[in-house]
Amino acid sequence: MYGNAYIDPDAKQEQFEDDPVKLAEFEARIAAGEKIEPKDWMPTEYRKQLVRMIEQHAHSEIIGALPEGTWITRAPGFRRKLALMAKVQDEIGHAQLLYSAAETLGKSREDMINDLISGKSKYSNVFNYPAFTWGDTAVIAWLIDAGAIVNQVANSKGSYGPYCRALERICAEESFHLKYGHDNVVYLATGTKIQRQLVQEALTRWWGPIMHFFGPPDKMSVHTEKLMRWKVKMATNDDMRQQFLNMYVPKIWDLGLVLPDPNLRKNEATGLWEYSEPDWDEFKRVINGDGPLNKERLAVRKMAEERGAWVREALKRKDAQYVQPLA
Ligand code: FAQ
């Protein structure tokens, strides 16, 4: 066991599920901009959606540490190694914060980890791709973190207190990651011909997954409408993608880097970016378990889980001595 005992959210809330008065009160609180806290009444569907989303987010942080984590031993130089180690530690810390926020809704950490390892729960598409070179880690730290910030700054203004508070703290740390990633990309893009090529190739590899990162186009999105009504999600997938393009494409072009989409341009009349649709079939395959590294990523998590079992066992022992007196 990891922490809170599992409470079946359906069993606990069912009696109120169709209570129109409670629902109206709840929706009025949301409309007034109030935060919903764990002990407050909430519709079963709100609870379920939050668990789904926060849990997926927590899994993304923990799996997201893997592509960059494999580069700690190979980082070029001591300064980069220290920064990368700190970043990877931060991502794991984010997972801890998010698992705790999801636990307040009644699902135990053990169940969440089991659902991750069994492939039942999703996590972000991007972390199923390999980081072949140091250039890949630079692109991840700059642009994936940038995408995560666009999403999380918006959602930190949402309605569920524990998730919003976790997101505020996470965003503060992610903004350091973004600076580290930007510095890394600038260094490579203004370096030797080989360094420039390294980061350009990485950018070309990651562009499709980054476009996928914000989720399917609004017309294909399943959950957006409901989540926005309840202020769990504060912007649509397409709005977040547009915001990201608007903030980062000019910066990428300023560095003389090329994006692998000949149709990418800002339509000055509408203020919106036009682009070629990324391959949404590939996105579906990746998020449903059939991406380049899905099996490897889950195998590593499973191994970590099995190897850490003795620590959890030891912590459960009532007679455990946590503090060794100094001799
Ligand atoms: N990857 O109806 P929608 C990070 C699924 S943290 C995988 O539009 P929704 C930090 C979706 O779950 C990154 N699956 O869904 C870091 C649903 O499937 P389901 C994670 C995706 O919820 C940086 C189906 O498609 N951030 O990067 C993705 O309204 C660097 C239909 O989609 C969060 O999780 C995807 N990209 O909108 C760490 C933020 N997109 O569950 C290390 C919180 C969609 O019905 C290094 N989450 N799907 O089976 C959200 O804001 C939302 O859940 C969205 C998706 C926007 C991701």
Structure confidence by residue, pLDDT tens digits, 6-22 = 344 444 444 445 689 99
Residue 157 lies in a domain: yes
Is 285 near ligand 1, meaning CB less than 6 Å away? no
Question: What confidence score (pLDDT) does residue 78 get?
Answer: 96
Q: Is residue 310 part of a domain?
A: no
Residue 304 lies in a domain: no
Residue nearest to atom 48 of ligand 1 (CA): 215
Does 81 score more than 50 pLDDT? yes
Task: For a ligand 1 pocket test, name from 49, 52, 56 the mutation site with the most ligand atoms within 8 angstroms of its C-beta.
Answer: 56
* pLDDT tens figures, 137-170: 999 999 999 999 999 999 999 999 999 999 999 9
Is pLDDT of 316 > 90? Answer: no
Residue 183 confidence (pLDDT):
98
Give residue 90's domain range. 13-299
Number of domains comprising the chain = 1
Categorize the per-residue pLDDT at 327 as very low, low, confident or very high, splitting at 50, 70 and 90.
Answer: low
**Tokens encoding 290:** 């059939």
Assess if residue 223 is contained within a domain: yes
Q: Is 222 in the pocket of ligand 1 (CB under 6 A)?
A: yes
Does 324 fall in a domain? no
> Cα separation of 283 and 113, whole Å?
23
| Ligand 1: centre distance to CA 291 (Å) | 15
Asked if residue 307 has pLDDT above 90, the reply is yes
Whole-prediction pTM value? 0.93
Nearest protein Cα to ligand 1, atom 43: 57
| CATH number for the domain harbouring residue 207 | 1.20.1260.10
Inside any domain, residue 322: no
Q: What pLDDT band is residue 321 in, cutting at 50, 70 and 90?
A: low
Q: What is the mean pLDDT of the chain?
A: 93
203 touches 134 (CB < 8 A): no
Tell me the mean pLDDT in the region 268-293: 98
Kindly report the protein residue whose alpha carbon is nearest to atom 49 of ligand 1: 122
Ligand 1, atom nearest to 125 Cα = 1
**CA of 103 relative to ligand 1 center, distance in Å:** 19
| Residue identifier of the C-alpha nearest atom 32 of ligand 1 | 221
Residue located nearest, by CA, to atom 7 of ligand 1: 124
When pLDDT is averaged across residues 43-55 and rounded to a whole number, the result is: 97
Residue 317 pLDDT level (bands cut at 50, 70, 90):
confident
User: Given this model, what pLDDT does residue 326 score?
Assistant: 64
pLDDT tens by residue, 176-224? 999 999 999 999 999 999 999 999 999 999 999 999 999 999 999 999 9
Q: Residue 320: its pLDDT value, please?
A: 66
Q: What is the mean pLDDT of residues 292-308?
A: 97
pLDDT at 5 over 50: no
In a domain, 319, yes or no: no
| Residue 224 in contact with ligand 1 by CB distance below 6 A | yes
Mutation test residue for ligand 1: of 163, 287, 288, 293, the one with most atoms within 8 Å of CB: 287
Calpha distance 245→273 (Å, rounded): 7
Q: What is the pLDDT of residue 7?
A: 45
